[in-house]
Amino acid sequence: MPDPRRYLVKELFGPTLQGEGAHAGRPCVFLRFAACNLECTWCDTDFAPEGAVRYTADEIVTKLVELDGNRSRMVVVTGGEPTLQWDQPLADALHAAGFRIHMESNGTRPLGAPVDWLTVSPKPQFHPASISLVNDLPLSELKVVIDDTVDAAVLDRYVERYRCAHYFAQPCMNEQYAHHLARTLALVQARPAWRLSVQLHKILGVP
């Protein structure tokens, strides 16, 4: 028998709260993969392969069950870009352990296996002419981070092209946060299809 696949994992942590989107405030645990196909310079997460650890699917599940002390059985799979490694054996192992799988992706790659909830966070700031979303992704929600490069026309194009139940505009939480928040509020108030999302976990100071 060949050795089972080992996934490059940046961190596993919890229990914590989902801080963003339609499920903000829900207890969960996190599986954060290393590596990304875009590597945006403004990214606020550490996805570098340095310091990452390789785990089998069974090892990932065992660690997540241990972390999930409140038995939320909700795992947020993120990165980096999780679709670089996401596959059916890991999806099956997590579902067999009773986890509901929520994933956040940049939307530029197809899914290697189904998930229960898919958040796509496109990066219009990153070579917008050459980077686009996969057309047939089963979107649950679309989340766009708002900075000065994202305007109303960008949001309108996303609504026209990609159909889902939830559209979120989220102010970039950097040193210009007050400015980005004001712009985001104005965009949302002018476009009722969009809702405000804030990074609740950062505001509350939870992991």
Active site residues: 30, 36, 40, 43-45, 104, 201
For the sheet containing 117-120, what is the strand order? 53-55, 7-17, 27-33, 74-78, 100-105, 117-120, 141-146, 166-171, 194-196
Distance (Å, rounded) from C-alpha 72 to C-alpha 186?
35
Give the type of residue at 173.
Answer: M
Q: For residue 128, what are its two tokens?
A: 């917008």
**Type of residue found at 155:** L
Q: Give me 44's structure tokens.
A: 């606020």
